[in-house]
Structure formats: C-alpha cells, structure tokens
Amino acid sequence: MKIINPELIHYFNGDLQGKKVERSCKLYKDAMSFYKSVDTSLDPDTVMYEVMTVNADKKEPGYLNWAISLLHPVKVNDECCMTRGHFHVVTDCEEYYWCAEGEGLLMFMDENGNDWCEKVCRNSLHHIDGHLAHRLINTGNTDLRIICCWNSNAGHDYRRVEAHPFPHRVFYREEGIVIEDA
C-alpha cells in the first residue's frame, strides 16, 4: 500500500491551497448595488470580499462543497461590508458556517420577507436552513473569515433576493452597530 499526500490543505487562519481550489474576488464596483448608497470616496477596485472554494466533482445529492468566505472590514458610507446574499435553489439543502476569525452578523430572511440576525464571533457555528436567504456582514475592524460547507447541488438563487431584498441594513457609526430599515 502506498501513502499519498493530501490534495488540499486548509490553514484555518489562512487560505485553502490545492489544484481544485477556485478563487473569486468581489470588487466594490461589482457590489455597489448591494448597498444603500454609492460611496464616491471608495476606490471602485476595492476588494470587498474573497471566496476560496473546493467544489465537489458532481452537483448531486451526497456531494459537498467547502469554502472560505473572507469579508474585509470595508465600510460604504458607514454601511458594513456584506455578501450579496442568496437563497438556495434546492431548498432541501442546508449549510453550515463556522467563524474562524473576526466578528459580524449572519442575516437571515424567510420566504415571507421577515429577517433577523445571529451574532458571528470566533468559533461560532451556524446552521442555515435551506429555506432561508442568508448573507454575511462584517461589523468588526478586522477580516471576517467564515468556513462554509453545503450540498453541491444546492445552487445559489440571487434573483429572489434582488427581487425581494433584505428589509434591514447594518451600519457601524460612532455609537456602534446600528440597524436601519432598507
């Protein structure tokens, strides 16, 4: 029997490394529509968040994807950096988020448009029901690093969130975290 080296390495306070790792980067110019207003003082090429993903070989039940979402501590007119947010196409598919570092909020929205947040902090573990839209929000002054695991056949339904946006927004002001109606 031979012993082989692992194909992938996950440094919990670092990156995913390996041939199967796909990297994407969301720049401010591609994320402007997420925010309440445009911040003209922010360079359009500012990196808002990055995602490193290992996609399963098949998009079928029983196969899993693994990823790191890294949200930078960027504010857009005091609005906290956030991901686009999505429902799953296949609503029977759940997801887990584990916070490796940083602090923030995980915003949920049900199919009726009701929303709420869970606090995200180092080592917190979050179960995401497949029927809920979800988005990450970095409320801190350091990177928010989240480890994600979900069914490879779940899919991302961004259009539902665009048609029916999250009803609240999160800002960081002098008095701390402020949640406002969208």
Q: Where are the domains of the chain?
A: 9-181
8 Å CB contact between 65 and 56 = yes
Q: Which helix H or strand E contains 120, and what residues bound it?
A: strand 115-121
| 72-95: pLDDT as tens digits | 999 999 999 999 999 999 999 999
Closest CA to 145 of 71, 73, 47: 71
| Four-residue CA torsion sign, 85, 71, 32, 77 | positive
pLDDT for residue 40: 97
pTM over 0.75: yes
Mean pLDDT of all residues belonging to the chain: 96
Q: Which residues pair with 107 in a beta bridge?
A: 117, 135
Residue 6, pLDDT above cutoff 90: no
Residue 11, pLDDT above cutoff 80: no
Q: Which CATH architecture has domain 9-181?
A: Sandwich (2.60)
> What is the distance between the alpha carbons of residues 76 and 35, in angstroms, rounded to a whole number?
7
> What is the distance between the alpha carbons of residues 102 and 104, in angstroms, rounded to a whole number?
7
> What is the distance between the alpha carbons of residues 69 and 145, in angstroms, rounded to a whole number?
6
Q: Greater confidence, 136 or 11?
A: 136
> Residue 84 — φ and ψ, nearest 5°?
-60, -40
Structure tokens at 87: 């429902």
Residue 63, pLDDT above cutoff 90: yes
Greatest Cα-to-Cα distance within the chain, rounded to the nearest angstrom: 62
